[in-house]
Each structure stands twice: as structure tokens, then as C-alpha cells.
Amino acid sequence: MAATKKGGKSSAQQIGLSEETLLGLYTSLLKTRLLDERFRRLFRQGRFAGTYFSAVGQEATTVGPTYGLRIEDIIAPSHREIGASVTKGVPLVMIAAQVYARSMSLDKGKSHPCHWGYKPLGVITPASTVAGQTIVGTGCAMGFKIQKKDNVVLAFFGEGSTSRGGWHEALNFAGIHKLPIVYICQNNLWAESVTATLQAGIEHFSDRARAYGFPGITIDGNDVVLVHKTAGEAIARARAGEGPTLIECMTYRWYGHSEIDPADYRAQEELDKWKKKDPVPTAEKLLMELGVLTTQKREALADEINQEIDEAIDACEKGKYSEPEEAYNDVYSEQFPVRREEV
């Protein structure tokens, strides 16, 4: 039972969110963390091929904006947004099927282990070229506007991706047409081995929004409540036809760019400093103080999530790879075939 303060309002309501929302945010954070750590271990055991982009440390930046979206809203994730898929409700077995490149994955094993797309819930498959999904997401927002629908798009990317030309063209277009889109920049201070200070001559990447005529804001990306509330305001603006917002979430990736990167280009002190801001125990502490979570409840939740993960992994390990001929399917649209000789 949540603690109640004077005036009959629970402590949870006093911070502006319901108990259900606080628990929902926490559940998605924990699920993302446990799943991500599991994939890291499985990769190191050689259970799947390629590599794996861990988002451990950054969970609040994806869970916060995605929690509470409508099914019809679209997400345009990049390579480090497992939390967006988990929070939008993509079945864990489908997330794992992508990692394992199994025939049951939506692309039947064609793309990268971390290119999680899921059409039934409006999750666009990430592009290999960074910021590619920002451009596609902006096009989807234009689609919503043309169709006069009050759905929104969330486009995620890292700070390094904001150096690409297409990223600027997309934001410029969104600013001109006041599109219903929220751009979420996860500034984790590094783009592979390049520091953020070598990506831009400005301190805050959110300043880039001003050039395109819409608001930009920089926030603590490890505070899931703050991220959720800030994104919620931007989403409401977008639904009301008031245009885009750029939210820069300051955060940090705990591990290498991918699991094959020892990340020896950065200082141990920097990592230690950010680990102290771990978004999962930060949320846990808040919820316990508010009386929304107890240690027993947390343990029961972790057991339930671990069982769900076990089942998803088991199904994928038993699953098959696609036949080689599958490589030719779904590559070009069969709906509108255009032959060279017809052009």
C-alpha cells in the first residue's frame, strides 16, 4: 500500500504519476536490464553470432518515452534501443529470435542481432546506416499528418548520429511541417571510440533543435521519472499539432560499443562515476520510498521476468535457421514490381 500524505494524495500522485505508471516504468526497466545482461552472457558463450550492442546503463532513456504510447504510435529505434521494443510490448521471443537470427524472426534472420523491428506494434526496423531510422520516422510522422491522425513517432538515436547530413534534413523538414514527432538523443558521451566533444562544437546537442525552429531540452537520462514526464509533455505537444521536440538524455553505456569492443579508450573513473547513477536502483529506491515497491515484490518480479526470458531463449535455441534460398525473399517489394526495362 502506498504511503498517504496530507490531503489524501498518495506520495506517488504527488510526484505526478500513478502507482501503476511507476510500477510499469520500473517493470520495463528491470526487464530491459535482465534481458540485456542475458544476451551479453549468451554472446560470450558463443550461443549466437555477429555481435551485440548492450544498452546497460541507458535503459531510462528508452523506457521513459515509450511507456504509455498507443499501439498505433510508431517507434524508430537505432541499434541500442532494446528498451523501446520491450516497453512497447514486443514479445521477448521475437526480440530473442532477432538476436539468434532464427527463421521465426520477422526478417527471417537477414539482419543484425540488434536490429529489432516489429511491424504489428509499429516498431520500424533500424537502418544499418546510423540516423537512417530518423529519416524514415520523420516520413511516418508526415504520413500521420497527411492522414490527420493524432498519433506520434518517437525517433531514437545517439549523439554521434546527429553528425549525419540526413539527420539534419529530417529535423529541418519536421520543423517546417510541424510534424508529430519526438526526437530522443541518447548522449552517452561516445560514438564508438569518438568522444562527444569531437562530434560537435556545442555543449548540448539539444541546441541543434533551435536551428530547425522547435524546442530542444537536455535532461538527466538516468532518471526514468524525469524522462517519462519530459517525453510525455513533448508527446502531448506533438499530438496537439504543435510540432516536434528534441530531448537530449545524458546517459552512459557501461560496456563497449559492442561486445567485441574492450572500450579501453575511456577512463575507469568516468565509468565508475556513471555506474553510481545506475537508473535501475535509482528507480527502485524512489519506488521503495514511495511505498510502491518492496524487496519481496522486486524479487518476485525478477523471478517472473527471468522465467519469461528463459522461455524465450529456449524457444529460439530450439528454432531453425532459414534455408539459404530465403535470402532472396522480402528484399524487394512484390506489391509494386518495377523492372529496369519499364523505367
Ligand X SMILES: Cc1ncc(C[n+]2csc(CCOP(=O)(O)OP(=O)(O)O)c2C)c(N)n1
Q: Binding residues for Mg ion, per CB under 5 A?
A: 158-160, 188, 191
Question: In this complex, which beta carbon is closest to Mg ion, that of residue 39 or of residue 156?
Answer: 156
Question: In this complex, which beta carbon is closest to Mg ion, that of residue 4 or of residue 254?
Answer: 254
Cβ-contact 219, 206 below 8 angstroms: no
Q: What are phi and psi of 248, to 5 degrees?
A: -95, 120
As measured in angstroms, the least distance from the Cβ of 227 to ligand X is 16
Asked if 80 is part of the footprint of ligand X (rule: CB under 6 A), the reply reads: yes
Binding-site member from 191, 227, 231, 235 for ligand X (CB under 6 A): 191
Exposure on the CB side of residue 52, measured as CA atoms within 13 A: 27
Which residue has the closest beta carbon to ligand X? 158
Q: How far apart are CA 113 and CA 126, in angstroms?
A: 11
Question: In this complex, which beta carbon is closest to ligand X, that of residue 18 or of residue 129?
Answer: 129
Q: How far apart are CA 166 and CA 153, in angstroms?
A: 17
Asked if 238 is part of the footprint of ligand X (rule: CB under 6 A), the reply reads: no
Cβ-contact 205, 187 below 8 angstroms: yes
Question: In this complex, which beta carbon is closest to ligand X, that of residue 48 or of residue 190?
Answer: 190
Task: Rounding to the nearest 10 degrees, give the CA dihedral for residues 170, 173, 177, 180.
Answer: 10
Asked if 192 is part of the footprint of ligand X (rule: CB under 6 A), the reply reads: yes
Asked if 83 is part of the footprint of ligand X (rule: CB under 6 A), the reply reads: no
Cβ-contact 330, 107 below 8 angstroms: yes
Asked if 157 is part of the footprint of ligand X (rule: CB under 6 A), the reply reads: yes
Amino acid at 16: G
Binding-site member from 19, 36, 73, 159 for ligand X (CB under 6 A): 159
List interacting residues with ligand X (CB under 6 A): 79-80, 128-130, 157-161, 186, 188, 190-192, 257
